Amino acid sequence: MNFFHQVVSYFGDGANWTGPTGIPTLFYRQFILSASVIVVAIVLGGGAGVVFGHTGRGSLVAVNAANAFRAVPSLALLTLLAISPQISLKWGGFLASFIALTVLAVPPILTNTYVGIREVDADVTDAARAMGLRGGQIMGRVELPLALPFIVAGIRTAAIEVVATSTLAAYVSYSDLGTPLLAGLSSNNSVEAFCASLLVILLAALFAVGLGVLQRAVTPAGLRHHRRGGNMLAPTPGVEGAAAA
Amino acid sequence: MLGNVIQWSFITQQWSEIQTDLVQHIELTIIAVAIGLCLSVPLALVAWRLPITRAPLVGFASLLYIIPSVALFAIVGAYTGYIASYLTAEIALVGYTMLILMWNTLAGLAAVPEEAREASVALGNTRSATLWRVELPLALPYIFAGLRVATSTVVGLVTVTVFIGLGGLGQLIQYGFNTAFTTPIIVALVLAVALAAVFDLCLVLLERVVVPWSRSTRRIAARA
Query: Which CATH number goes with the domain that contains B95?
Result: 1.10.3720.10
Whether the CB-CB separation of B148 and A62 falls below 8 Å is answered with no
A162: nearest CA partner in chain B? B68
- Asked if the C-beta of B83 comes within 8 angstroms of chain A's C-beta atoms, the answer is yes
Of A79, A115, A184, the CB nearest to B185: A79
Nearest-angstrom CA–CA distance, A217 and A119: 20
Residue A58 region by backbone torsions, left for phi larger than 0, else alpha for psi between -120 and 50, else beta: left
A115: nearest CA partner in chain B? B223
- Asked if the C-beta of B189 comes within 8 angstroms of chain A's C-beta atoms, the answer is yes
Interface of A with B in 26-45 (CB under 8 A): none
Domain count for chain B? 1
Where does residue B143 rank: exposed (0-12), middle (13-18), buried (19+ CB within 10 A)? buried
Domain-embedded: residue B41? yes
DSSP notation for B99-136? HHHHHHHHHHHHTS-HHHHHHHHHTT--HHHHIIIIIH
Interface of A with B in 1-30 (CB under 8 A): 3
Phi/psi at A218 (nearest 5 deg)? -90, -5
CA dihedral B157, B176, A192, B164 (to 10 degrees): 50
Domain-embedded: residue B26? yes
Helix (H) or strand (E) holding A15: none
Contact B223 A196 (CB under 8 A): no
Which chain B residues contact residue A116 at CB under 8 A? none
Which chain B residues contact residue A168 at CB under 8 A? 70, 160
What distances in angstroms separate CA A164 from CA A31, A74, A175, B135, B170, one per listed residue?
A: 11, 10, 14, 36, 16
Of A229, A238, A243, the CB nearest to B100: A238
Interface of A with B in 105-164 (CB under 8 A): 115, 160, 163-164
Domain-embedded: residue B64? yes
- Asked if the C-beta of B60 comes within 8 angstroms of chain A's C-beta atoms, the answer is no
* Cβ neighbours of A77 (radius 10 Å): 24
Domain-embedded: residue B7? no
Q: What is the pLDDT of residues A131-151, one digit of tens each?
A: 888 888 888 888 888 888 888
| Domain residue limits at B218 | 13-222
Ranges assigned E (strand) in A17-175: none
Interface of B with A in 162-181 (CB under 8 A): 162-164, 169-170, 173, 176-177, 180-181
Nearest-angstrom CA–CA distance, B200 and A67: 10
DSSP notation for A99-117? HHHHHHHHHHHHHHHHHHH
Quote the minimal CA–CA distance from B176 to chain A in Å.
8
B199: nearest CA partner in chain A? A71
- Nearby residues of B63 by Cβ (< 8 Å), 6 or more positions away: A233, A234
Domain-embedded: residue B21? yes
Q: What is the pLDDT of residues A14-53, one digit of tens each?
A: 777 877 888 888 999 999 999 999 999 999 999 999 888 8
Contact B185 A76 (CB under 8 A): yes
pTM, two decimal places: 0.86
Domain-embedded: residue B4? no
Domain-embedded: residue B2? no
3-state secondary structure chain B: CHHHHCCHHHHHHCHHHHHHHHHHHHHHHHHHHHHHHHHHHHHHHHHHHCHHHHHHHHHHHHHHHHCCHHHHHHHHHHHHCCCCCHHHHHHHHHHHHHHHHHHHHHHHHHCCCHHHHHHHHHCCCCHHHHHHHHHHHHHHHHHHHHHHHHHHHHHHHHHHHHHHCCCCCHHHHHHHHHCCCHHHHHHHHHHHHHHHHHHHHHHHHHHHHHCCCCCCHHHHHHCC
Whether the CB-CB separation of B188 and A73 falls below 8 Å is answered with yes
Q: What is the mean pLDDT of residues A166-188?
A: 88
Which chain B residues contact residue A204 at CB under 8 A? 66-68, 71
Please compute, for residue B80, the number of CA atoms within 13 A of its CA located in the half-sphere on the CB side: 16
Q: What is the pLDDT of residues A54-77, one digit of tens each?
A: 888 888 888 888 878 888 999 999
Contact A238 B146 (CB under 8 A): yes
Domain-embedded: residue B142? yes
pLDDT value, residue A226: 52
Structure confidence at residue A228 as a pLDDT band (50, 70, 90): very low
* Cβ neighbours of A88 (radius 10 Å): 15
Of A79, A194, A239, the CB nearest to B74: A194
Which chain B residues contact residue A188 at CB under 8 A? 82-83
Domains recognised in chain A with CATH numbers: 21-244 (1.10.3720.10)
Contact A197 B83 (CB under 8 A): no
Higher pLDDT: A228 or A37? It is A37
Q: What is the pLDDT along chain B (224 residues), one digit of tens a residue?
A: 455 677 888 888 888 899 999 999 999 999 999 999 999 999 999 999 999 999 999 999 988 998 998 999 888 888 887 777 899 999 999 999 999 999 999 999 998 999 998 899 899 888 888 888 899 999 999 999 999 999 999 999 999 999 998 989 999 999 999 998 899 999 999 999 999 999 999 999 999 998 877 655 455 544 44
